[in-house]
Amino acid sequence: MEKQILYLVQQLRKAGVRVTLAETLDSLEALRLVEWDRDSFYATLQATLVKNQRDYRVFDKLFGLIFDPDYFLHRDKTAKFRHLLKPKEGPDCQGEPCDGSGEGKSMGGPQQGQGRPGTPAQRFVQVIKMGNQQEMMDLIREGLAGLGTLTEKHLEDREDALRRIKVFLEWKTGELHLEKQAGEVDEETFLDWQARLAQLEQLLVDALEAALVAEFKERALEDILERHNLNQMDFYQLSQEQVVEMKRIITRLAHKLATRVSRRMVRAKGGKMDIQRTMRKSMASGGIPINPAYRTRKPTKPQLVVLCDISGSVKVFSEFMLQLVYSMQQKFAHVRSFVFVDTVDEITVYFHNREVAEAMAEVYNRAIFSQTGFSDYGKSILEFRQRYGNSVNGKTTVIILGDGRNNYRRPELEHLQWIKDNAKKVFWLNPEPQERWNKEDSIIGLYQTMVDRLLECRNMGQLERVVRQIF
């Protein structure tokens, strides 16, 4: 058992969950002090190994794959759906309990066994209406069986495998049937159906992953964990649920960033010796450094200027970065923010005294950043210099966010060079993988010579490293 627990820790770390040696030892010690039943074993490992709520899903997935595939059916981890699985009287039940224990009502068509509708879509509809978890699992097993023997292709493209299972189950047709019947039931019942659909989809994903791990062992497990590691997933690959969690992480990152300060050297009565000034002063005493000069670092708040491309090709990345800029602007005294596609506009004022969702809506509704809809970095950089050049000085760090795809237009390199010459530092963050740089209409290589650092920034892990390098 200890080997399995250590294997669990190893896989948690691969998935981006931070588990220290001390926490691993705590888990082993805690297990010696509790009764060994299923719930206590699970709760003890979770309490000692997982610190952030966002990591619970990864832990649950690993626990089920390594220790007990049927545990979460026993425990019903989807507690938010629990009320949906109880017997319920309703118009669809016609006075009979909708708990899956009876034969169920036929939806029409020929029967496939006792109480089962004739087509997969009708069976799907009945399972959603009844809400019985065992029926859901039976339906998922039928879908997995319909997929046939699992192959390398299924492992490499799980989304396609899920699509094929849904086609086999006539999932979309079933959803359409439910939508057509929405007017025949009350709102609460329809919301229950929607919640059961979400639960069934999650159970299907979990079942497919468990089947792949059973077939391809550790190779499949590592692939699955990699897809759940928010630190390593490209921003473009995130699901809606992961996007919400990523926004929380970025807000916390901005708060950490806001507590950091830059330090500049100033004259002082003590501290580190200032060799240059000491040597100059020594000239008055024949080269003998009688009166040494000192300097020390004085904390200062950095001044930031952020230019963010919000064209369609980098929209997801840009929204995350605007979230970061928004959070930073609430903490920093000197932050000016600009957006562009083929023309540039300042959005600093939209972030003042507003919630982030309202601020983002203001940016898209009121800012003037596009005339043609196609990126033009050269024109945008030229306009920035002409209209907002006074925002750049020797204390300003300029951060440019974008993929450098210029749609074969003039790069206007001399104006970016002017920004570099007048700013303290210029950093360019590119959300595209490096292997796609300088291909087709990408001219990021030309711009690279005009900035201090060009950095790939396409996932959370890279973003955190970039923040440390910039500040």
CATH number at residue 422: 3.40.50.410
- 123 and 85 share one domain: yes
- Report the pLDDT value the prediction gives residue 69, as an integer from 0 to 100: 65
Asked if 93 and 162 touch (Cβ cutoff 8 Å), the reply is no
57, 82, 195, 198, 208 from 78: Cα distances, Å: 11, 7, 11, 11, 18
- Report the pLDDT value the prediction gives residue 285, as an integer from 0 to 100: 76
**pLDDT tens sequence across 462-471:** 888 887 777 6
Does the model's pTM come out above 0.75? no
Query: Once rounded to an integer, what is the mean pLDDT over residues 51-55?
Result: 78
- Report the pLDDT value the prediction gives residue 463, as an integer from 0 to 100: 83
Q: How confident is the model at residue 271 (pLDDT cuts 50, 70, 90)?
A: low
Range of the domain at 349: 302-470
Do the domain assignments include residue 253?
no
Do the domain assignments include residue 235?
no
Do the domain assignments include residue 257?
no
Q: How confident is the model at residue 100 (pLDDT cuts 50, 70, 90)?
A: very low
Query: Once rounded to an integer, what is the mean pLDDT over residues 403-420?
Result: 94
- 277 and 316 share one domain: no
**pLDDT tens sequence across 116-155:** 557 889 999 999 998 888 888 889 999 999 888 888 888 8
Averaged pLDDT score across all residues of the chain: 80
- 27 and 143 share one domain: no
The torsion angle over the Cα atoms of residues 389, 395, 400 and 404, rounded to 10 degrees, is 70
How many structural domains is the chain composed of?
4
| Token output for 136 | 């859901």
Do the domain assignments include residue 241?
no
- 360 and 310 share one domain: yes
Q: How confident is the model at residue 384 (pLDDT cuts 50, 70, 90)?
A: very high
- Report the pLDDT value the prediction gives residue 301, as an integer from 0 to 100: 59
Query: Once rounded to an integer, what is the mean pLDDT over residues 317-337?
Result: 76
**pLDDT tens sequence across 87-97:** 444 444 443 44
% of the chain with per-residue pLDDT over 90: 30
- 115 and 172 share one domain: yes
- 50 and 133 share one domain: no
Percent helix, strand and coil across the chain, each to the nearest 5: 60, 10, 30
- 88 and 108 share one domain: yes
Do the domain assignments include residue 209?
yes
Do the domain assignments include residue 87?
yes
Between 261 and 252, the higher pLDDT residue: 252
- 429 and 401 share one domain: yes
- Report the pLDDT value the prediction gives residue 105, as an integer from 0 to 100: 36
- Kindly give the pairing relationship between strand 425-430 and strand 396-401: parallel
- 40 and 109 share one domain: no
Phi, psi of 114 (to 5 degrees): -65, 120
Asked if 322 and 329 touch (Cβ cutoff 8 Å), the reply is no
- 291 and 337 share one domain: no
